[in-house]
Structure 1
Amino acid sequence: MISTNDSSSELDHLQRGPRVMLYSHDTFGLGHLRRSRALAGAITAADPTASALILTGSPVAGRFAFPSRVDHMRLPGVIKRSDGSYASRTMGMSIEETTALRSGLIRSMAQQYDPDVLIVDKEPTGFRGELLPALELLSQKGHSKLVLGLRDVLDEPEVLAEEWARKEAIAATEQFYDEIWIYGLASIYDPTKGLALSPLVRDRMHWTGYLRRDLGPLDTPPEQPYVLITPGGGGDGAMMVDLVLSAYEQDPDLAPRAVLVYGPFLSGETREAFETRVEALQGRVTTVGFESRIETLFSGAQGVVCMGGYNTFCEVLSFDKPAVIVPRTTPRLEQWIRASRAEELGLVSMLDERRDGWTPAAMTKAIRALATQKQPSQAFSSGLLDGLDCVTKRVSALLQDLPRKVAE
């Protein structure tokens, strides 16, 4: 350690750069990890002395390249059953044991990494409350800023209020978090609608705008024209993929061709059946299993058919592509709320199960309409994609309130 007699120049030399830790529980899909990765990349790019560590439960975290000075630690995985309950991915461990293991690892990393800023994605107390020991530790230490980051839509207000009450999330938000960042715009949707947050907490809320996707150097996209078909992680995308393939099967004149990205979580058996159908279409549909640089495919697409997850929506906006969103409605209405509001604003079109019907004819019509559909930028522009710029400014402001830590 440095003695009190050391000179100020020595202290300056040993001052360490800012450290940001991001928690992303990731029990299913890719959304939380990709959002944390985008945030970490922007923060470290804005400050060449900063580093970031992402704690994630995603089973595919290792397939992604991470930016310079960004690393990740994989937490023991859990899976969500069809009945809504959870189970451990680790053989021989109960969900309680796995949660306790994850919680201990998170607290240990908070202790050892000693972040200046902790950014928590979506869940104020973490998966099954696993984050609470780390929050208590950092709060007691008193030299870390704690931030809760929320996507633009969480769920129906009544459902969300019940969920947060059950998880004691309101109390945790009131007690621990210095700021709440909402990765959207108040003029589009308020995800905290229905939550009994105090005026004091609401004063700590910052609307960032949506998180722009990296538009840096890209690979050469496939031969054009084509429509990009992406169900996100793919775990719940079989219905949409089936609908697209049925449209191309039933209408031999449907154009342009489709480039389909299955996603890493679309099951092998289901994917094999789809591949048989794709082969019969003789090149009118081509497929990719998992594309960590899906940005390249977005860049060359004439239009996009996708589900309504937050990250895919940000990609549609960032690449300014006409899009048809096919939103899931279970287990949450999140995607439907996002898609219906975006359609109202003219940002996208939506294929709604009740209004339009999920039929091959409806999908064919939607794909054909992409050729003349307006780009999102023609409907909305002011502040829409300022999220990453806002986040880096907030991090800088939070760091200014903290005493500089020195390297040990």
Structure 2
Amino acid sequence: MTQLNDARILMYSHDTFGLGHLRRCRTIAHSLVENFSGLSVLIISGSAIAGAFDFRARVDFVKIPSVIKLRNGEYTSLDQHIDLSETVRMRESIIRHTAETFRPDIFLVDKEPMGLQGEVAETLAYLKTCNTQLVLGLRDVMDSPALLAAEWERKELIPKIDALYDQIWVYGPENFYDPMIGMDIPQSLRDRIRFVGFLERQALHAELSDNKQQGDYILVTTGGGGDGVELIRGVMAAYEHDASLTFKTLIVLGPYMPGKERDEFVARGNALASVEIINFDSRMEELIASATAVVSMGGYNTFCEILSFDKPALIVPRTVPREEQLIRTQRAAELDMVDMLLPEEADDPVQMARALKALPQRQRPSERMLNVIEMDGLTSISDIVEEYFQSDRIEQIGRVSKA
């Protein structure tokens, strides 16, 4: 473990829909404090259930008022009595005050370059004057090139990123996908992009989930669950249609599954001997690690966990309002890493039942992959962080000697 004296990293995770951003930041934070003694990491999160997760020593979070993203792509305050603009102003103030008080050496922003509705822009400008290293972290896939280019052009993000950020970390290998493919990126900005690789996950067997199953089972997960109704409905319909589908299956609905559908699925699951349904588990790594195979929607975190624990997987990607999951899953299927059904195919109980029956006998991703896919993202990030602090220390020594 490398010693860093009073080093501080601040992370921003806007968290408007699902659990992906917080879980990614938490994974990176835990890896960093494992590798560096004396380092503290603080995560600014808008997740309504951030407190449901365990955080290691020297990792903590600051909760900002929650905003949710609707299926049409629009945002609204979680507290319906507070106007969205007022909520964003509160979030902006807390973010700025946290940065001023915490005084980070590195500020890592997850996915949204200027934050939700620009709420991080002022903090970025302030930290730039403090010589804080500003880093933008991007998923392997953001959206379709055309949609992303239009969004970034509308928000004038490329010149802002170019002016503010010191580095861009892409949480995937270059030979899998380039999230900014087809965009007009100046070379000066391209030179700051580092493809770190996928973020490998570990199962902490000392903290076993209470929901871990005995024996072989298929795990069905929708992540946060807010957009997972169609996937669960397709799996349930397959079991109800085909009585010979008897492989034990654990379905995790997710904390944001709508209440009406949650009640419906629990009732239907009670009538199926092979199916068990739970609402949520904060230790999904444990459930995936012990599963025989996984059925999911193709979000970034679950995809990394499928590869990390080398599980046969059937993915039914979300296709709206973003095409991120569709593109990731198509690329993974192209490399023969996973099986894929489009949402309209998964709606057919015959096709879904056939896919579920075949899944436990499928080869693991490592046995099927056509290319070597790097899973060393956490190691790469630690190397970059160590490189930064070493260079910063050398600069400080130089400034002292000149004085």
TM-score bracket, normalised by the shorter chain, equals over 0.9
2:392 is matched with which residue?
402
The answer as to whether partners of 1:247 and 1:363 remain within 8 angstroms in 2 is yes
Q: 1:180 to 1:291 in 2, by over 3 A?
A: same
Instruction: Specify which of 306, 325, 333 is matched with residue 335 of structure 1.
Output: 325
Q: Which deviates the most, 217-226 or 59-68?
A: 217-226
Q: Which deviates the most, 99-108 or 75-84?
A: 75-84
Instruction: Specify which of 216, 219, 227 is matched with residue 225 of structure 1.
Output: 216
1:291 is matched with which residue?
281
For 2:51 and 2:108, locate their aligned partners in 1 and report how far apart those are by CA, in whole Å.
21
Q: Structure 1: which 5+ residue stretches go unaligned?
A: 1-14
Q: Map 1:387-398 onto structure 2 (within 5 A).
A: 387-398=377-388
- What is the CA distance between 1:84 and its match in structure 2? 2.6
1:256 is matched with which residue?
247
What are the Cα deviations for residues 227-255 of structure 1, in whole angstroms up to 9, with x where unaligned?
00101110000111011011111111103
Q: Map 1:151-166 onto structure 2 (within 5 A).
A: 151-166=139-154
1:320 is matched with which residue?
310
What are the Cα deviations for residues 273-321 of structure 1, in whole angstroms up to 9, with x where unaligned?
111111111x310011110011221122111111110001011011100
Is 1:185 paired with 2:176? no
Q: What is the aligned-residue RMSD (CA, Å)?
A: 1.7
Q: Which runs of 4+ in 1 moved over 6 A?
A: none
- What is the CA distance between 1:70 and its match in structure 2? 0.1
What are the Cα deviations for residues 341-400 of structure 1, in whole angstroms up to 9, with x where unaligned?
00010110101246x453111111111111221111123474521010001111111222
For 1:97 and 1:352, locate their aligned partners in 2 and report how far apart those are by CA, in whole Å.
39
Is 1:167 paired with 2:155? yes
Q: Which deviates the most, 194-203 or 17-26?
A: 194-203
1:198 is matched with which residue?
186
Is 1:51 paired with 2:36? no
Q: TM-score, normalised by structure 1?
A: 0.92
Is 1:146 paired with 2:139? no
For 2:156 and 2:324, locate their aligned partners in 1 and report how far apart those are by CA, in whole Å.
21
- What is the CA distance between 1:16 and its match in structure 2? 4.2
- What is the CA distance between 1:179 and its match in structure 2? 0.6
1:89 is matched with which residue?
78
For 1:80 and 1:387, locate their aligned partners in 2 and report how far apart those are by CA, in whole Å.
28
Q: 1:330 to 1:91 in 2, by over 3 A?
A: closer
1:122 is matched with which residue?
111
For 2:81 and 2:349, locate their aligned partners in 1 and report how far apart those are by CA, in whole Å.
44
Q: Alignment partner of 1:401: what SS?
A: helix
- What is the CA distance between 1:91 and its match in structure 2? 4.8
The answer as to whether partners of 2:292 and 2:360 remain within 8 angstroms in 1 is yes
Q: Alignment partner of 2:205: what SS?
A: coil
The answer as to whether partners of 1:160 and 1:194 remain within 8 angstroms in 2 is no
The answer as to whether partners of 2:203 and 2:286 remain within 8 angstroms in 1 is no
1:237 is matched with which residue?
228
The answer as to whether partners of 2:318 and 2:343 remain within 8 angstroms in 1 is no
- What is the CA distance between 1:80 and its match in structure 2? 2.2
For 2:136 and 2:284, locate their aligned partners in 1 and report how far apart those are by CA, in whole Å.
27
For 2:20 and 2:367, locate their aligned partners in 1 and report how far apart those are by CA, in whole Å.
26
Q: Map 1:108-119 onto structure 2 (within 5 A).
A: 108-119=97-108
Q: Which amino acid aligns with 2:190?
A: R
Q: Alignment partner of 2:44: what SS?
A: strand
The answer as to whether partners of 1:57 and 1:75 remain within 8 angstroms in 2 is yes
For 2:372 and 2:288, locate their aligned partners in 1 and report how far apart those are by CA, in whole Å.
22
The answer as to whether partners of 2:226 and 2:256 remain within 8 angstroms in 1 is yes
The answer as to whether partners of 2:316 and 2:346 remain within 8 angstroms in 1 is no
For 2:373 and 2:145, locate their aligned partners in 1 and report how far apart those are by CA, in whole Å.
25
For 1:288 and 1:148, locate their aligned partners in 2 and report how far apart those are by CA, in whole Å.
35
What are the Cα deviations for residues 249-279 of structure 1, in whole angstroms up to 9, with x where unaligned?
1111103111011110001221111111111
The answer as to whether partners of 1:322 and 1:376 remain within 8 angstroms in 2 is yes
For 2:235 and 2:361, locate their aligned partners in 1 and report how far apart those are by CA, in whole Å.
19
2:195 is matched with which residue?
207
The answer as to whether partners of 2:10 and 2:42 remain within 8 angstroms in 1 is yes
Q: Alignment partner of 1:368: what SS?
A: helix
What are the Cα deviations for residues 114-140 of structure 1, in whole angstroms up to 9, with x where unaligned?
000111100110000000010000001
Q: Structure 2: which 5+ residue stretches go unaligned?
A: 397-403
The answer as to whether partners of 1:351 and 1:358 remain within 8 angstroms in 2 is no
- What is the CA distance between 1:166 and its match in structure 2? 1.6
